[in-house]
Amino acid sequence: MAYAIDLAGKTALVTGVANKRSLAWAVAKLLHRAGARLAFTSRRLAEDEKAKAKLEALVKEVDGLLLPCDVRDEKQIARVFQALDGEFGRLDMLVHSVAYAPPEALRGRFVDTSKEAFQTALEVSAYSLIALARGALPLMERAGGGSLIAMSYLAAERAVPTYNVMGTAKAALEQIVRQLAFELGPQNVRVNAVSAGPVPTLAARGVPGFTHILEVYEKRAPLRRTVTHEEVARAALFLLSDLASGITGEVLYVDGGFHVTAF
């Protein structure tokens, strides 16, 4: 029996699209292809007119709704879900692809991480999943359930040079995924994470030594290559869809098998 992913009549909120190379955008394109109605958030809409124009053009390609949101601001988050309630009346899927740490926290020694940098990284990259889930829950309950995914990385469980406090944030993010999965399961809301191998996004290229990380994956991953944006997006689409209806609290690795290797 063949199975197809049909998301017609369903709605999704996608966070973290910065440009067409974003993993979040790769996920959004597949959601759109499957028939979902899409909304997007970005904190850059009120800060950068050039970035705003580019985002508006991207979102127009999938006939989506673009909303301003700084995930550190509870009031802005509340306005996003009010807008979704007015536009869609429900929410079926949420993609958390937001991560940030001050650049200086990724260049120096981890032991020199400032309290301010630590708090910023954890608030934006991890706590925001809790805040977004809280806002999404009433709309997902109205839809009869829902699915959330968060984008993670192997640094959540291993030491990765220069990734520093972002590894701490990803570890927190994965624990939040498990705790939310436990708590929201009775409402038929599933929460999972995709741990992606390194792909060339704007954010990834801001990590010192990123090119070297790609080379290491190509040599050591069982598939002897890195993964593509679309491979990561297909895994996300699976977890968001009813094909994964029995899966929650999971971290799905899409890294060519690199996470299973010791050498």
Q: Please indicate whether residue 201 or residue 15 has the higher confidence score (pLDDT).
A: 15
Beta-carbon-side half-sphere exposure of residue 93 (alpha carbons within 13 Å): 32
Q: Please indicate whether residue 4 or residue 48 has the higher confidence score (pLDDT).
A: 4
Catalytic residues: 153, 163
- State mean pLDDT over 199-226: 79
- State mean pLDDT over 3-18: 93
Q: At 147, list the tokens.
A: 């699915």
Name the residue among 88, 232, 259 with its Cα closest to residue 149.
Answer: 232
- What are the angstrom distances between the C-alpha of 115 and each of 100, 103, 118, 123, 203? 15, 14, 5, 12, 22
Q: What is the largest CA-CA distance in the chain?
A: 56
Percentage of residues of the chain with pLDDT beyond 70: 94
Given the structure tokens 């708590």, which residue do they identify?
183
Return the DSSP state at 74: H
Annotation: CATH topology of 11-253: Rossmann fold (3.40.50)
Name the residue among 181, 217, 172 with its Cα closest to residue 196.
Answer: 217
pLDDT at position 46 over 70: no
The most confident of the ranges 11-15, 39-43, 195-199 is 11-15
What is the amino acid identity at position 97?
A: S
- State mean pLDDT over 190-209: 80
For residues 87 and 89, what is the distance between their CA atoms, to the nearest angstrom? 6
Radius of gyration of the chain (CA): 18
Degrees (nearest 5) of the Cα angle 64, 71, 245?
60
Q: What is the pLDDT of residues 231-261, one digit of tens each?
A: 999 999 999 999 999 999 999 999 999 899 9
| Residue 1's pLDDT band (cuts 50, 70, 90) | very low
Q: Please report the pLDDT score of residue 177 as a whole number.
A: 98
| Residue 199's pLDDT band (cuts 50, 70, 90) | confident
